[in-house]
A and B are shown apart, each in its own frame.
Chain A
Amino acid sequence: MEYKGRRQFAGHQIRMREHISSEPRPPSTVDDTVLVQGLKNGQEWAFEALVRVFGARMLSTARRLVGNEEDARDVVQSAYLSAFRAIGEFQGSAQLSTWLHRIVVNTALMRLRSRRRKPEESIEALLPVFQADGHFVERFSSWDVPADQLLEQQETRRQVRSAIDRLPDTYRTVLVLRDIEELSTQEVAEALAITPSAVKVRLHRARQALLTLLRPHVARGPTR
């Protein structure tokens, strides 16, 4: 499976940080092959490099999925330990960062499943309502400001993140994986053990619900 998560730390050139000091001293840059070889050989600098170079990105992914800092750090730690154990099986068919990202996503999804003790809220109340003849009940208003300008405002980005957090987990997870992490429909389907069609339906509903939540912040005047 080709895995195309966003921001794959492109390149095979991985910049090493100055503070990685374990012996043998690593080169200033290293490609996947060198890093993987170091990991497979059990070299300390390689483990540290894997954490320092990719850790922030992995932590961001975990935060988006599990929604709080403590769980996100637990997820990242657990994922890295899984990766260290499984490095012998890494074949190099994907980039190292992509492989690691997949482990973080799966670990985060397991965490979400384990903590889901009560039925989640229905998303229905956030979806558009239609008249019997198929028309929207609501009369929509244009947005005051284009999205690209809204995104320049820190407050808007905070409002959007808050709205995403309010989505039921089932839908939020798909939205994060598809629209933010940029996994393909097939990749999300495999990660969540659901059909690609179900991924599409959940993504669409999540976006619709997010629109409903954002509209009071961005649209002109009363909308209902």
Chain B
Amino acid sequence: MLRGVQLDEKACLAGAKRECGAGIKEGDIPVTCRELADFIADYLADTLPSDTRAHFEHHMGVCTNCVTYLDGYKATVELGRHAFDNPDAPVPDTVPEELVKAILAARR
């Protein structure tokens, strides 16, 4: 794993001018790690313009750190979505009886 990280860092840092986009001129590969991070939500929502999406995916092809970050981001969204689920509950939640009574009493 460490070896992989080092290789990736080498590709992404030393090779930034070609591969990662960081610090390069406009018109080359415009997606840096920072820009990629900004685009993630739109990428996942499939709302990126096609050229930006292509650059995004190109970056993902050469930067494993961003791949790992994106994977973590997607997993986080999934965890957040289901954090309040309770598959262990034997019966569906019911509203507390005292709350039912309080609401109906307040209406009268």
Contacts and interface: CB of A to CB of B under 8 A. Distances in A.
A134 B100 contact: no
Contacts of B76: 147, 207, 210-211, 214
B32 A147 contact: no
Interface string B17-41: 0001111000000001111011011
Nearest to A6: B81
A81 B83 contact: no
Nearest to A127: B37
B3 interface: no
Contact of A135 (B12, B41, B68, B83): B12
Interface in B83-108: 83-88, 92-96, 99-100, 102-104, 106-107
Nearest to A185: B45
Given A143-B72, A164-B83, A81 B107 contact: yes
Interface string A109-140: 00000000000000000001011011110011
Contacts of B93: 56-57, 59-60
Contact of B80 (A55, A58, A139, A175): A175
B100 A157 contact: no
Given A148-B78, A175-B80, A77 B99 contact: yes
Contacts of B96: 59, 73
Given A51-B95, A157-B85, 5 more contacts: A59-B99, A133-B23, A136-B65, A152-B87, A215-B72
Interface of A: 44, 47-48, 51-52, 55-60, 64, 73, 76-77, 80-81, 84, 128, 130-131, 133-136, 139-143, 146-148, 150-152, 154, 156-157, 160-161, 164, 175, 179-180, 200, 203-204, 207-208, 210-211, 214-215, 218-220
Interface of B: 1, 5, 9, 12-13, 16, 20-23, 32-35, 37-38, 40-42, 65-66, 68-69, 71-88, 92-96, 99-100, 102-104, 106-107
